Structure 1
Amino acid sequence: MKAKLFVGLLVKSAMALGSIVIMSQYIDSVNPRLTTASVEQPPNLLFVQTPTTVSLQTSPGNSINQPMRTAGISLGGTFAIFLVFGVVVFAVISSRGVVVIANDEVGIVIKKFNLNPFSPKLPAGQLIAFKEEAGPQAKILTPGSHWGYFPWMYTIRKEKPIKVYSDAIGLVVAKDGASMSPGQLFGRVVECNNFQDAGAFIENGGHKGKQLAILTTGTYRINTELFHIYKKPVINIPPGEIGLIVAEDGAPMPPEQLLGKVVDCHNFQDASKFIENGGQKGRQLAILTAGTYWINTDLFTVITAANATQYGLKPENLQVYTVEAGKIGIVTTYDGISIESDEIAGSPVADHGNFQNGQKFLDGGGRKGLQQEVLPPGSWNLNPWFAKVEQVELTDVPVGTVGVIISHVGKPPENKAGVVERGCKGVWNTPLPPGKHVINTKVMNVEIVPTLPIALDWSNKKKPPTNYDANLHAIQLRSKDGFCFDIEVTQVIRVAEENAPTMIYRVGNNVGGSGSNSIKALIVKVLQPAVSNYFCNSAQNSEALDFLDKRSDQQRQAKDYIKSALSDFAVEAVDTLIGEIDLPEQLEKILTDRKIAQEMRITIQAERETEKELQNLEYEKAVTKKQADLVKAQEDVKIAELNAIAAKYGIEVEVGRVRQLREIDLLILKETIDIIGREGWLDIEKLKELVKLKLPEVWVSNSHDGGSGLIDAVMPQVLRTLRTSTIGSNNGLSTAHQGHQTLETSSPSTALPQGYVICTHCETKNPLGNNFCSKCGKPLTS
């Protein structure tokens, strides 16, 4: 529509210009005063219906008022006619060379021929023209109007733009471009605006063939004469699955390498980086985890659980590997450095994420084959081309036992003649306690050693085959006197927890070339020979009956011997017990007769004891009858003894009291003599003799008789006191007590000592009022 409007406007303009030329020639011939003419055009040339106004101007002061007349066509008019005709013809022809491209279209240009004989022709083998050669043109027509593309010279093919939706990618094949190097399968990435600039693609060295770059979600205006676009779905890895990659191009791998190394290529979504960073052709070490990926599937083959069978794999191999609870995964790798000849498993490597990062494992010097490291319970993204996993149960050490580790891997031990430290090759000196443990049983053996006492029975009794002593039988002996007999023995042993590694190291854990229990190895190699040899040797040095009679000594000696033998193997001999001794029949008869005689002797002795008991019983009956009298007599004796004890105690109390009173009297006497003097005391003694006399209360004395004068002074008072004392004696008071009271009531200057009584047995003076002597305890007589 715009092209038609443009042509129409061009024709109208030409006609208007021709008319102006013709009119100007006529006016000049009729009115020479007309000097100028102007044409006023409408403001909008698109509206061709607007009339054109011609305005004529004359010289100043002169105006034209007469009508205009046309004259014959002059040379100028002829030119104007031809000019208009040419413009019309050009407009008609030009309308055929305008191409309009809509917004949802792209124009592919193909030039049919070239009018310029000097223009170069398209080189042989080249499909796209870049210099106006005949053929498909590199340049495309974008939305809009394009002039000059005449249908007899150009073919314009209108196509829809290429749309790539979110669930797909666009793979590109270039039909023209530079040739690839030998062995190269994909064209390298060049700057060409996602293949929308064909010229830039060729100028920048884009290669002919399949391209590394892909088209992601979007709309692209691409020259389909140069590029073939085909769509492929994006790669979806569901949760719980993985994807394996096979690269169809890349650097060659060394012969010893199994999988292509991991390079930075955005999970294979950047094919150019994969090639530039040295990605290798073939199966890849890296994997795809759950997610959506835009990957060039011409370069990379993606194997998922959905298409695993097409590539010889099982769908379960493309699942996330899960190690169940209570188990561990023993890993074997298919790639890496070969294991040393003296090793059976690869040493641990750091930071490889439980074999999920294979490149870290290889870069860290990981070995190919069985690994010392194990996978713990959980889910792991493992490349099945890189590693396989075998699940085993956790090592269970029951209660009452310990686990001794025999490691076949690790650093060489410093101590080559005994148990070793953890991490070294050999028998570890630290056992495993009861519980579940993570142990790689492919590189380590765990010997379960019981730490509770174990009773081993050498007998012919039927035993469960799982018993430690299942193969132990009664020991056959021959005595010094030539008799053969069997003996049953029970041996109790115990292995301490800290001694279990030493026992395993010294005894070993193989019996008859087959893996067996360490305790059975101890029995076969150590205990059974020691027990059998001891009793065989002991029997040969004893007669059969003596061996039987001295079984206690034999048992004690056997215990000491076996204890010494087991101590060399770090095993404790708890006890040795001799059971039944099976003697020959003739010896059994002798023993039976001896036993019968012993029993008869015992029977007779029992009868004697019974008779004695009967006698005792009769005696006890007789005693019982007299028991009441005996009890009464015994009680009377006890009563008499108690009375005697009471009397003796009373005498002792009285003697003590009298002794205390005597001591008090002596103290008073001493104090009295100290106060009144010896002469005064003698006067008082004289007065005591007067007590027995009835004296008047009036005392007449001659002071010139040579006395002390004390009597004259105190006599009147004494007489009154004696009179009072006489009255007091009538109330039952003793003379000594009355005198004591008198002294207490009198003043210190007039107090008198009390009287005393002389014992007829020991002549000891005792205070008046004492009934018993204070020295000998005999009764006093007045």
Structure 2
Amino acid sequence: MEFVILIVVVAAGGWFGVAGVRTVPAGQVGVVTKVFNTRPRRPEDDPRVSFCAAAGPQARLLHGNTRTWLVPLLYRVELVAQTYVPSGTIGVVVAKAGNVRPADSPIARYVECDHFQNGERFLRDGGQQGRQLEVLTSGFYDVNPVLFKVITVDTPEAMAHEGLTAQALAEVEIEIGETGVVVTHFGAKPNLVDVGPPVEGHHSFQLPWVFLAGEGWRGVQRETLDEGGRYALNPWFAHVVEVPTRVLILEWTKDKKTTSNLDISLGQVVLDVQGYTVRLDMKQTVRIPATAAPGIVRNFGLGGQGEAGGRSSVQEFVKKELAATVDAYFRRISSRYRIQEFITRYNEVCNELAGEVRQALTRTGVEAITTTLENFECDEQEINDMRRQIAVQQESVKLEEARLAELRARKDSEAVLNDTALQQVKVEEERRRLDFVELKMLVELLGPEHVAVERVLTQWVKVNVPQYIGGSDGNVMQALLQAMPMAQTRDIMSMIRNVAAARTEPEPSELTSGDNGSAEQLTPPAATG
């Protein structure tokens, strides 16, 4: 009898020992449930998931590729797959058990628990229920699914339940030529007139608990994400607005544009100059430095995550800041300029506009690089032809000036010096041609008498003459000339002759050099009185 009892005991012990061995294959984890209590439940133990060995689901997890002995019949083990976060994405975590989060806390406080793989430590150290600050980057994790819900792009139902999208769970990648402006959803109350100051140690907002511990502000942050980087950001904590920092070409044209164009709000410039309707195209190149991008986002719209949000902010900036500046300038000069001034001083208009744009954008930190006014169209074809002639001659002057500058930069031989002198003559000749073309346009628009008087008055205000001038015979023009110094009188007499000749004389012909091509032979004779 004793032998039988011994055999039964040995058999029972063998079964007990074998039955208690729990093997967890690689790639899986074992979720442990205690069937009944063997000790009183501790007050600090969580009733949903126990970390003190009370009955019910256990926080402790059996890891893959291991063997563990548990008391048979007392514990039940369920094998589940490891948690996997696909490459290039993140996983966000919701704790199903833990302390109750305070009512004024929108997200659970951070607890170090080996990326949620140590559930016992999470509960023991006061981990809170709900959304967690830490995210899981791509890879495999031994996470207890009874304690934590991990949301990835492979769990669409859970993703939709939390109001997330696949884009929100993708790593933030900042393209070359862009910067990432970070907008945090939690933090200290922001200043109403500034963006959030930098906070040390949060590794580009990837450690949000460090940012919050450093009293970082809620809202737009001054620190930006560098181009070419990839960042694992918690979408519950912050989103990123990508703003282009490359050189942007913005165009005022009548061409149709897509809604994604940054210059969608810009149309062809139309203005009324002395009764003439003028339409012109314009180009403005700008660059938004990374330091200016937060201000653009804060002042012109927070946008959404990704490139679309950045485009929305920049589009509003172009519309409300840049376009408004250009429109105000053209409204002002359209009432100030006469059509002949607008034709002959088109380049001056462009330079003046460029200065105003540069001054306006300086306030926002945006760099205004170049302002270009294209050829305009007028309802009167005659005006278009006049402007075209002036533009062609202006380009000729620029070309000759560029050649002269190149020769002056060399200065390394006698031959170059001679070429420089010859080129100087060519530049002066092209400038005289430009003056002649502009004068001819004015004569055709205003008539020779009006232009002559206008030029005389222009010279008169430059010299010291009596405050009152009158002619006994009523000839005020003659009295003006008599009151002027001899040099100015000679110039004006020559000018009057030029005005009279501009209606009938052809455009000055090109000068030809003599046999030896000297500068003296190319110089035209001086005007005689």
TM-score (norm: length of structure 2)? 0.51
| Contact 2:51–2:123 (Cα < 8 Å) also in 1 | no
Q: Given the alignment of the two structures, is residue 142 of structure 1 paired with residue 17 of structure 2, yes or no?
A: yes
Evaluate the alpha carbon distance shift between residue 552 and residue 163 of structure 1 in structure 2; reply closer, same or farther with a 3 A threshold. Answer: same
Mapping of 1:319-330 within 5 angstroms? 319-330=170-181
Q: Which residue of 1 aligns with 2:47?
A: 185
CA distance in 2, matches of 1:170, 1:558: 98
The match for 1:314 among 155, 165, 182 is 165
Deviation at 1:236, TM superposition (A): 1.9
The match for 2:3 among 79, 94, 100 is 94
CA distance in 1, matches of 2:168, 2:337: 63
Local SS of the residue matching 1:337: coil
Evaluate the alpha carbon distance shift between residue 367 and residue 556 of structure 1 in structure 2; reply closer, same or farther with a 3 A threshold. Answer: farther
Counterpart amino acid of residue 72 in structure 2: T
Q: Given the alignment of the two structures, is residue 549 of structure 1 paired with residue 420 of structure 2, yes or no?
A: no
Evaluate the alpha carbon distance shift between residue 164 and residue 496 of structure 1 in structure 2; reply closer, same or farther with a 3 A threshold. Answer: same
Q: Which residue of 2 aligns with 1:701?
A: none
Q: Given the alignment of the two structures, is residue 259 of structure 1 paired with residue 107 of structure 2, yes or no?
A: yes
Mapping of 1:281-292 within 5 angstroms? 281-292=129-140
CA distance in 2, matches of 1:388, 1:558: 63
| Contact 1:186–1:209 (Cα < 8 Å) also in 2 | yes
CA distance in 2, matches of 1:184, 1:558: 95
The match for 1:442 among 283, 287, 297 is 297
Q: Given the alignment of the two structures, is residue 163 of structure 1 paired with residue 15 of structure 2, yes or no?
A: no
CA distance in 2, matches of 1:496, 1:179: 82
Counterpart amino acid of residue 289 in structure 2: H
Q: Given the alignment of the two structures, is residue 228 of structure 1 paired with residue 83 of structure 2, yes or no?
A: no
CA distance in 1, matches of 2:124, 2:27: 27
Q: Which residue of 2 aligns with 1:332?
A: 183
Counterpart amino acid of residue 138 in structure 2: A
Evaluate the alpha carbon distance shift between residue 557 and residue 443 of structure 1 in structure 2; reply closer, same or farther with a 3 A threshold. Answer: farther
Structure 2 alignment gaps of length 5 or more: 251-284, 301-313, 319-325, 365-369, 374-446, 464-495, 505-529
CA distance in 2, matches of 1:247, 1:160: 30
CA distance in 2, matches of 1:106, 1:216: 26
Counterpart amino acid of residue 225 in structure 1: L
The match for 1:371 among 221, 225, 230 is 221
Q: Given the alignment of the two structures, is residue 347 of structure 1 paired with residue 256 of structure 2, yes or no?
A: no
Counterpart amino acid of residue 114 in structure 2: H
**Per-residue Cα deviation, 1:212-268 (whole angstroms, up to 9, x for no partner):** 111223222322322222222111223212111111122222323222222211111
**Per-residue Cα deviation, 1:413-471 (whole angstroms, up to 9, x for no partner):** xxxxxxxxxxxxxxxxxxxx9867323122479999xxxxxxxxxxxxxxxx9997598
CA distance in 2, matches of 1:248, 1:505: 51
Local SS of the residue matching 1:272: helix
Local SS of the residue matching 1:388: strand
Q: Which residue of 1 aligns with 2:98?
A: 250
Mapping of 1:592-611 within 5 angstroms? none
**Per-residue Cα deviation, 1:569-627 (whole angstroms, up to 9, x for no partner):** xxxxxxxxxxxxxxxxxxxxxxxxx99xx99xx9xxxxxxxxxxxxxxxxxxxxxxxxx
The match for 1:359 among 209, 214, 219 is 209
Deviation at 1:298, TM superposition (A): 0.8
Counterpart amino acid of residue 551 in structure 1: E
Evaluate the alpha carbon distance shift between residue 391 and residue 101 of structure 1 in structure 2; reply closer, same or farther with a 3 A threshold. Answer: farther
The match for 2:118 among 245, 270, 273 is 270
| Contact 1:336–1:366 (Cα < 8 Å) also in 2 | yes
CA distance in 2, matches of 1:476, 1:499: 18
CA distance in 2, matches of 1:376, 1:559: 57
CA distance in 2, matches of 1:270, 1:276: 10
**Per-residue Cα deviation, 1:8-55 (whole angstroms, up to 9, x for no partner):** xxxxxxxxxxxxxxxxxxxxxxxxxxxxxxxxxxxxxxxxxxxxxxxx
Counterpart amino acid of residue 60 in structure 2: A
Evaluate the alpha carbon distance shift between residue 558 and residue 240 of structure 1 in structure 2; reply closer, same or farther with a 3 A threshold. Answer: farther
Report the identity percentage.
24
TM-score (norm: length of structure 1)? 0.36
| Contact 2:50–2:57 (Cα < 8 Å) also in 1 | no
Deviation at 1:299, TM superposition (A): 0.8
Evaluate the alpha carbon distance shift between residue 184 and residue 472 of structure 1 in structure 2; reply closer, same or farther with a 3 A threshold. Answer: same
Mapping of 1:338-737 within 5 angstroms? 338-340=189-191, 342-343=192-193, 345-377=195-227, 378-394=229-245, 396=247, 437-438=289-290, 439-440=292-293, 441-443=296-298, 488=341, 490-491=344-345, 492=348, 503-504=359-360, 548-555=451-458
Q: Which has the larger radius of gyration?
A: 1
Q: Which residue of 2 aligns with 1:738?
A: none
**Per-residue Cα deviation, 1:678-722 (whole angstroms, up to 9, x for no partner):** xxxxxxxxxxxxxxxxxxxxxxxxxxxxxxxxxxxxxxxxxxxxx
CA distance in 1, matches of 2:245, 2:460: 45
Counterpart amino acid of residue 391 in structure 1: E
Q: Pick 1 or 2: higher relative contact order, CA cutoff 8 A, min separation 6.
A: 2
CA distance in 1, matches of 2:7, 2:186: 66
| Contact 1:173–1:211 (Cα < 8 Å) also in 2 | yes
CA distance in 2, matches of 1:503, 1:392: 22
Counterpart amino acid of residue 170 in structure 1: G
CA distance in 1, matches of 2:30, 2:202: 35
Deviation at 1:288, TM superposition (A): 0.6
CA distance in 2, matches of 1:310, 1:251: 22
Q: Which residue of 1 aligns with 2:149?
A: 301
Q: Given the alignment of the two structures, is residue 209 of structure 1 paired with residue 56 of structure 2, yes or no?
A: yes
Counterpart amino acid of residue 73 in structure 2: E
| Contact 1:237–1:290 (Cα < 8 Å) also in 2 | yes
Counterpart amino acid of residue 337 in structure 1: A
Which region of structure 1 is more displaced relative to structure 2, 439-448 or 497-506?
Answer: 497-506
Evaluate the alpha carbon distance shift between residue 160 and residue 368 of structure 1 in structure 2; reply closer, same or farther with a 3 A threshold. Answer: same
Counterpart amino acid of residue 21 in structure 2: P
Deviation at 1:501, TM superposition (A): 9.7
Counterpart amino acid of residue 156 in structure 2: A
Evaluate the alpha carbon distance shift between residue 557 and residue 371 of structure 1 in structure 2; reply closer, same or farther with a 3 A threshold. Answer: farther
Deviation at 1:380, TM superposition (A): 0.9
| Contact 2:353–2:371 (Cα < 8 Å) also in 1 | no
**Per-residue Cα deviation, 1:492-545 (whole angstroms, up to 9, x for no partner):** 268699987995499x99xxxxxxx9999xxxxxxxxxxxxxxxxxxxxxxx99
Alignment size in residue pairs: 323
Evaluate the alpha carbon distance shift between residue 502 and residue 369 of structure 1 in structure 2; reply closer, same or farther with a 3 A threshold. Answer: closer
| Contact 2:32–2:76 (Cα < 8 Å) also in 1 | yes
Deviation at 1:180, TM superposition (A): 5.1
Counterpart amino acid of residue 4 in structure 2: S
CA distance in 1, matches of 2:176, 2:461: 51
CA distance in 1, matches of 2:353, 2:331: 25
**Per-residue Cα deviation, 1:304-329 (whole angstroms, up to 9, x for no partner):** 11003333132332221212222222
CA distance in 2, matches of 1:307, 1:476: 66
Structure 1 alignment gaps of length 5 or more: 1-91, 109-140, 144-158, 191-205, 400-432, 449-464, 478-485, 510-516, 521-543, 561-593, 603-782
Evaluate the alpha carbon distance shift between residue 350 and residue 300 of structure 1 in structure 2; reply closer, same or farther with a 3 A threshold. Answer: same
Local SS of the residue matching 1:437: coil
